[in-house]
Structure 1
């Protein structure tokens, strides 16, 4: 037993040294975000009231969590037009800045619920289309609090690809090993966490002038899905 423990410890030590050597010799990928999020997402839309809130004011976060997550760029911008509300939350990390599981740990399933919201519905990796714009498959949920509900789509992009939310539990060393199994040593991709929420569904938002500009800004940050010419069009989902 003692010999087995020594062998296991040696293997872990060797693996750690190998990873350190790899990260020292192989540079991380180049980031794709080249301008501030605040300049990409529209801050003026005719007929809309738009304001930026501190990240700590979002249901995902708090002053302590925001500091801990150590974003390279972040935006929490809310749009109001008559009785239509749209909230757009984007957090960004440059390549190698944060582990994949820590970056994706503040989903509505955890932080919104902890902050008093009730999860009414939940769907995983569903298609999202807006007219001819097709975004990456989204996580979707309906969350309610104090008599009102929000339809929420969210994405965690790792190197431009949606990160799976099939995992359970909190980020830990086992989660890191699972990431190695899925991504190999390629654990230094840039990351976006994007959340789009509204009190209206997508069909209603399509009829609201100006909403298209919000969707187009998500395309600009890299959320549009690459689709082959032979792929059949998908029906739009409801927000």
Structure 2
């Protein structure tokens, strides 16, 4: 057993030194976010009341968690029109700023539930289509608290691609090894965590003027799905 432990320790040390050398000589990818999120997401919509809240006021965060997550940019903007409520939460990290698993760990499945919400429904990687706009497949859930419920869509983008994994108690060390298996040594892509929640269904929101502008802002930050034709050289947006 002692020899096995020594072997594991030596392997981890060599791996750590190898990663340090890799990171020292290979620069991270360039960031794609060119404008602040507060400008990209609509600040004014005809007929809507819009309010920005502190990230610590969201179900995902507390003041301590928000500080620890160390965002490079973040937005929690609430849109209200009559009885309709839409909340848009976006967190952004530049390349290499945060662990993939840590950045994507604060989903409604964990943080909302810990904050007293009940998960009523959950679907994984489902299509999200608004008119002719097709976003990347979304995680979806219905969460309730104090007699009200929210339909919640959320995405974790890593280098522009959805980061899909089941958060079912995988230990952090094992999760990190799985990340290396999936992405190789390039664990320094930029990341977005995006959450769109509403007391209305998506079909209901499609009928409300102004909601399309919110969806288009998500396209602008790279959430639109690429649809490829039969020719691999041509991508239809």
Q: For residues 58 and 73 of structure 1, do their structure 2 counterparts lie closer, same or farther at Cα, with a shift above 3 Å needed? A: same
Q: For residues 145 and 167 of structure 1, do their structure 2 counterparts lie closer, same or farther at Cα, with a shift above 3 Å needed? A: closer
Taking only aligned residues, the RMSD between alpha carbons, in angstroms, comes to 1.3
Matches within 5 A, 1:128-139: 128-139=128-139
1:29 CA displacement:
0.2
Partner of 1:101: 101
1:228 CA displacement:
1.2
Q: For residues 3 and 146 of structure 1, do their structure 2 counterparts lie closer, same or farther at Cα, with a shift above 3 Å needed? A: closer
Residue 34 of structure 2 aligns to a residue in which SS? coil
1:8 CA displacement:
2.6
Partner of 1:236: none
1:174 CA displacement:
1.7
2:53 counterpart of 1:53: yes
Residue 56 of structure 1 aligns to a residue in which SS? helix
Residue 227 of structure 2 aligns to a residue in which SS? coil
Cα shift readout 1:86-145 (whole Å, capped 9, x = no counterpart)? 000000000000000100111000000011100000000001000000000000000000
Q: For residues 127 and 230 of structure 1, do their structure 2 counterparts lie closer, same or farther at Cα, with a shift above 3 Å needed? A: farther
Residue 43 of structure 1 aligns to a residue in which SS? coil
1:170 CA displacement:
6.1
Partner of 2:87: 87
2:160 counterpart of 1:160: yes
Q: Tell me, in whole angstroms, the C-alpha distance in 2 between the residues paired with 1:65 and 1:6.
A: 36
Matches within 5 A, 1:81-230: 81-169=81-169, 172-230=172-230
Q: Tell me, in whole angstroms, the C-alpha distance in 1 between the residues paired with 2:46 and 2:72.
A: 30
1:171 CA displacement:
5.9
1:6 CA displacement:
2.6
Q: Tell me, in whole angstroms, the C-alpha distance in 2 between the residues paired with 1:170 and 1:9.
A: 21
Cα shift readout 1:57-79 (whole Å, capped 9, x = no counterpart)? 00110000000000000000000
How many residues of Structure 1 are paired with residues of Structure 2 in the alignment?
Answer: 231
Contact 1:101 1:171 in 2 (8 A): no
Q: Tell me, in whole angstroms, the C-alpha distance in 1 between the residues paired with 2:214 and 2:111.
A: 24
TM (norm. structure 2) is 0.94
Q: Tell me, in whole angstroms, the C-alpha distance in 2 between the residues paired with 1:37 and 1:81.
A: 22
Q: Tell me, in whole angstroms, the C-alpha distance in 2 between the residues paired with 1:143 and 1:5.
A: 44
1:3 CA displacement:
3.2
Q: Tell me, in whole angstroms, the C-alpha distance in 1 between the residues paired with 2:156 and 2:139.
A: 9
Contact 1:90 1:195 in 2 (8 A): yes
Q: Tell me, in whole angstroms, the C-alpha distance in 2 between the residues paired with 1:139 and 1:101.
A: 16
Cα shift readout 1:142-175 (whole Å, capped 9, x = no counterpart)? 0000110000000000001111132422662221
1:230 CA displacement:
4.9
